[in-house]
């Protein structure tokens, strides 16, 4: 029997039935403060598009949007500065920022040096 996922001691059904104020009390201080100050216009537009639910994924630049229980199961394309990365919202993401799941930096993978990169690369056989 799989273990039921709980977030801060609450089940998914309890979190869905909570009001916004009750959910905000469960968040860490930084997220709690940003939500109490109110949503920006861009964040509000994203939530309205998700609530409308026409089936299409939403594209946004709002990386500072806190993931709320009503967003579960939705797909959001978050802008990384170069492209829109697909973010599928699941239970473990609740209470985090949207930008945490759309990484802006790709890790550097160092390979063999190219021709002329150094004095020693002159002797690397070409394939």
The model's pLDDT over 24-75, given as tens digits with 9 standing for 90+, comes to 999 999 999 999 999 999 999 999 999 997 888 899 999 999 999 889 889 9
Residue range 12-104 forms a domain whose CATH class is alpha beta
Q: Tokens for 97, please give them.
A: 């920022």
Q: Are strands 75-79 and 58-60 parallel, antiparallel or unpaired?
A: parallel
| pLDDT at residue 127, as a whole number | 61
Backbone angle region of 99, left / alpha / beta, with phi > 0 → left and psi within -120 to 50 → alpha: alpha
Cα(101)–Cα(122) distance, integer angstroms = 42
Q: What's this model's pTM, rounded to 2 decimal places?
A: 0.79
| pLDDT at residue 67, as a whole number | 94
| Residue 115 reports pLDDT greater than 70 | no
| Residue 10 reports pLDDT greater than 90 | no
Mean pLDDT calculated for residue range 93-118: 83
| pLDDT at residue 56, as a whole number | 85
Q: Tokens for 66, please give them.
A: 């806190």
| pLDDT at residue 32, as a whole number | 92
Cα(58)–Cα(49) distance, integer angstroms = 7
Q: Tokens for 123, please give them.
A: 């002797």
């Amino acid at each position: 029997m799989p273990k039921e996922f709980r977030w801060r001691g609450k089940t998914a059904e309890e979190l869905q039935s909570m009001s916004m104020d009750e959910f905000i009390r469960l968040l860490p201080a930084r997220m709690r403060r940003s939500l109490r100050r109110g949503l920006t216009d861009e964040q509000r537009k994203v939530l309205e598009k998700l609530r409308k639910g026409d089936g299409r994924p939403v594209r946004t630049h709002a990386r500072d949007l806190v993931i709320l229980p009503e967003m579960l199961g939705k797909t959001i394309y978050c802008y990384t500065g170069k492209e829109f990365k697909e973010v599928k919202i699941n239970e473990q993401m609740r209470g985090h920022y949207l930008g945490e799941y759309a990484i802006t930096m790709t890790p550097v993978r160092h390979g063999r040096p190219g021709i002329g990169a150094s004095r020693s690369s002159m002797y690397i056989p070409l394939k």
